[in-house]
Amino acid sequence: MEFHTTYSDNNYTIYVDNGILNETLQKYTSQYNQVFYIIDSHVYDLHEEKFTNFDTVIKVPRGESFKTIENTIAVIDELLDQNIKRNDLVVVIGGGATGDGGAFVSSITLRGVDYIHVPTTLLAHDSAIGGKTAINRPHGKNLVGTFYRPNAVIYDLDFFETLPEEEVLSGFGEVIKHAMLAGKESINRLVDETKDGLDITRLNEFILYGIKTKMYYVSVDEKEDNLRKFLNLGHTLGHALEYSFKLKHGHAVVLGIIGSLYISNKMYNDIFDLESLISYLKKIGYDLSPLKEMNTTEMIHYMSSDKKNMRKSFIGYIILREYGHPELIEISTSDLEALLNEMKAII
C-alpha cells in the first residue's frame, strides 16, 4: 500500500507492506552515486540477511542511546570520511529513536542530504511521518533537532515479527492515541477488536489508520504552530514518566493519556468512562503502577521544560473535549500537581 503526503511541495511516499524493503529501496538507490545505510545495531543483528547487498553500513547504538550529540557527530564524521556528497542518499533503518537521530544526521550533514527512513518498530510509524528529527540533551528528550522531510518511508511489516511484547505494547500506545484523536467510533472499534489481547497479525489495519491520522495532522501544520500540537496528547506527563521510570515511549504515552482524560473529566463533567478504560489497558498488558508511584513534584519539574509551554509556572496540556476533539489548555503547575495527586486514587 502507498500513501502520499500532501504538502505544497517536496512530497514523499510512504510504502506499507510485507517484504517490500529491497525492491522499494532499489527504486530510489539506483538514482544516487553513493548510498549510506545507518542501521540500529540490534536490528542489524536480528535481520542481517536482509542487508547483505548493502555497501556502506554504519551500525549505531540501539534505540534511544543513539540520540546523543557524540554519536551524531561520530556518524557525520564517518560519512565525511567516506566522502559523502550533497547528492548522495542516506537510508536509516531502525525504530523511532534511530529514525530521529539518523534523520537529524541527514539534515545537518553538508546542510542536508536526501534520506529514506525504514521503520522497524510499531512505534516508528509515528515518528517516521512528519519530518521531525531530534537528539536528546541532559535537560530532556528531543530538545535539539530540525524539521526535515524524508524522500520516502518504507514500512516493511516483516520487521514486526521479531518485536518483543514490550515493543508491541509501546507501539500500540500511539495507535490508541491516534484512535482517540480520530473520534469515538475509532477508539471504540479499536478497544472492541483488541479486548481479548493484542494479536500482532491483526494490527496492520490500525497501523495504516495511525499513519493516515498522523499524515493529516502534519500536512496541515508541519511546524506545530497549531493543530499538530494535538499529536502530543499524552506526551506532556508521558515524557516526564518516561524519563523518570525509564519506560518505553508508547507505554509512557498511554499513562499520559490517562492523565489527560482525568483532567478532561474534571473540566467537563466526567465525560469519559475512565474506569473501563483503565481495566482494558491493564488487561491487554500495560503496567499502570508508575501513575500511582510517581513523585508529582518531580513530574512537574520535568514538564516545566516541555516545548509546548508558553508561560512560566504554567504547563501547556492537551486534553480531550470528547474523542476526536483535542484542546490545548494552560494549567498552573500548582493546580496540575493537585490533580495528579488526586488521580492516584483511581489507578
Residues found near a copy of itself in the complex (CB under 8 A): 33, 69, 73, 76-77, 80-81, 83, 85-87, 107-112, 132-134, 137-140, 142-147, 304-305, 307, 309-312
For a copy of itself, which is the closer residue by CB, 40 or 100? Answer: 100
Catalytic-residue membership of 301: no
For the beta carbon of residue 167, count every other beta carbon within 10 angstroms.
21
Exposed / middle / buried, residue 72 (Cβ in 10 Å: 0-12, 13-18, 19+): buried
Nearer to a copy of itself, 107 or 265 (CB): 107
* Nearest Cα to Cα of residue 292 among 259, 321, 331: 259
Is 212 designated active site? no
- Catalytic residue chosen out of the listed positions 136, 142, 232, 265: 232
Closest CB to a copy of itself among residues 30, 139: 139
Name residue 137's amino acid.
Answer: R
Q: Which is nearer to a copy of itself, 74 or 284 (CB)?
A: 74
Q: Which is nearer to a copy of itself, 144 or 300 (by Cβ)?
A: 144
Answer yes or no: 136 catalytic: no
For residue 189, indicate whether it is catalytic: no
Select which of 33, 49, 111, 139 is catalytic: 111
Helix (H) or strand (E) holding 92: strand 89-94
C-alpha 190/C-alpha 180 separation (Å) is 9
Cβ of residue 112: shortest distance to a copy of itself, in angstroms?
A: 7
User: Element (H or E) spanning 289, and its range?
Assistant: helix 289-293
For this structure, is 228 an active site residue?
yes
Q: Is 239 a catalytic residue?
A: yes
Least distance to a copy of itself from the beta carbon of 332, Å? 17
* Selected catalytic residue, list 64, 167, 174, 242: 174
Point out the catalytic residue in the list 67, 117, 125, 132.
Answer: 132
Give the C-alpha separation, 153 to 33, whole Å: 20
Has 246 been annotated as catalytic? no
Is residue 232 among the annotated active site residues? Answer: yes
**β-pairing verdict for 35-40 and 89-94:** parallel
3-state SS, residue 60:
strand
Choice among 67, 117, 178, 235 that is catalytic: 235
**β pairing state of 2-4 and 13-17:** antiparallel
Minimum Å gap between C-beta 83 and a copy of itself is 7
Q: Which amino acid is located at 310 in the chain?
A: M
Check if 117 is active-site. no
- The torsion region of residue 99 among left (phi > 0), alpha (psi -120 to 50) and beta comes to alpha
Q: Smallest gap, in angstroms, from Cβ of residue 108 to a copy of itself?
A: 5
List active site positions: 111, 132, 174, 214, 224, 228, 232, 235, 239, 249
